[in-house]
Structure 1
Amino acid sequence: MTSTTSEPLLRIAGLSSGYGRVNVLDGIDLEVDRQEIVVILGPNGAGKTTLLNSISGVARTGAGRVTFDGRDITGAKPEHVVRLGLTHCPEGRQIFQRLTVEENLLAAHIGRGGKSFETLRAEVFELFPILKERRNGMASRMSGGQQQMLAIGRALMAEPVLLMLDEPSLGLAPKVVHQIFRIILDLSTAGISILLVEQNVQLALECGDYAYMLNTGRIRLHGRAQEIAAHSSLGEAYLGGATGETLHV
């Protein structure tokens, strides 16, 4: 939606998906361009996590199509999606608590782009120096912010072209939240596209290029992030009052 001159990196068309026989999403259309940060906003229960799970192959796809880097990945298995360069950093971090930092990174290395484990580990340690300091420490003994850094670092071991982040600031101190958002901007500058689900609306819109407001399984509002931040319908869409046609600003 943000590019008219080339095919977007990720395109979702008419996606309806969910779990079991229950659809959570209804007719989602969404695009992510290369080197773009796209933000997904919305209240709890809006379907944000289900959207990421549907892209990464965790949730069932009932209808619609998901295309990544020119390939149809609709209903593809998660391991296939990761090997294509689309990595999902889930809500709650989901790191291996009983493994060390280094073991967590090793477990995530798949050699997709030909880089060695040592090279990728060095890149992660440069991005997150605290992980280098704690490399032999158990993940369970790290702070929440350090565990989130490890979760992102582990996702980077798969050499993503597109990195999906689900609530990376959840439960973190304000200082750490700002640090995480600086890292997200650095990753984008380095050429990684970002699809970001985030509850911190202000920071997300400051960081993002394009934004979608999701509520009750549908896109209620979408447009350039700065324009969304200033739009009068933002609060209405977030609280679920928007009905009828999707608003594009």
Structure 2
Amino acid sequence: MDKTVRILLAFGDGRLHGVRDIARSLTLPKSTVARLILDLADARLLVQDETSGQYRLGAGAARLGQAYLEGLDVRTVSAPIMADLQERSGETVGLQVREGLERVVIASNESKATIRSGFSIGERLPLHAGAAAKVLLAFEQEEFRGELVRSLTLTPLTDRTILDTDQLQAELAKIHRQGYAVSENEVSLQSTSVAAPVFGGDDRLSAALVVTGPVFRMTGEVVKVLTPLVCEAAQAISADLGSTHYRN
């Protein structure tokens, strides 16, 4: 590995470092390290602390990191984690995002079972019912969430659909506290879903990760097992997108 790259990576711990300790830790000549650190500082990848004279990552490194995060696509990042979740759960795994007052399926790994539940990529679905819908509402910015809910038309889809705004708000608050949503027969009959939020590099809600299956397989005990799996997968996708939400 190039000496310059090794030196830059040594600053990845976010701490201040001097020429001497970098040279010692990388077993490099101090003169070489001093020269290369000056080159990195000229490129604004490092900046010198005025008090200690040591160096830390600079604005140039921050810009590179931001460019990397902005270039991440949630579907690409989610793909291997969704595939693993589908294998572990045996049910259909989907990724949904909010568009206006609807939600859209942007990725799906279908169950291999003969009888299965799920939705097609590109399908548009209501935002007021279903586990994924409630996650997309519950983890929206608080000041915007109320406005969204008031804008919804609470159309009955099944006899399990919530049709009262206050009841829906209370349900969303509960989902926000517990970190996931579960629904049964809310959008269509004989279907159960578990969903958890995915956050982007800016720590804002990016998508809802959801596992959907027929109610005869998705029993209460099965849902208890699946819920932590869905939450862990959503956390893994969020971390890969650069989010620190789950570390806070």
TM-score w.r.t. structure 2 length?
0.30
Q: Which fold has the larger relative contact order, with Cα–Cα distance below 8 Å and residues 6 or more apart in sequence?
A: 1
> As a proportion of its length, which structure holds more helix?
2
Q: Which has the higher strand share?
A: 1
TM-score by length of 1: 0.30
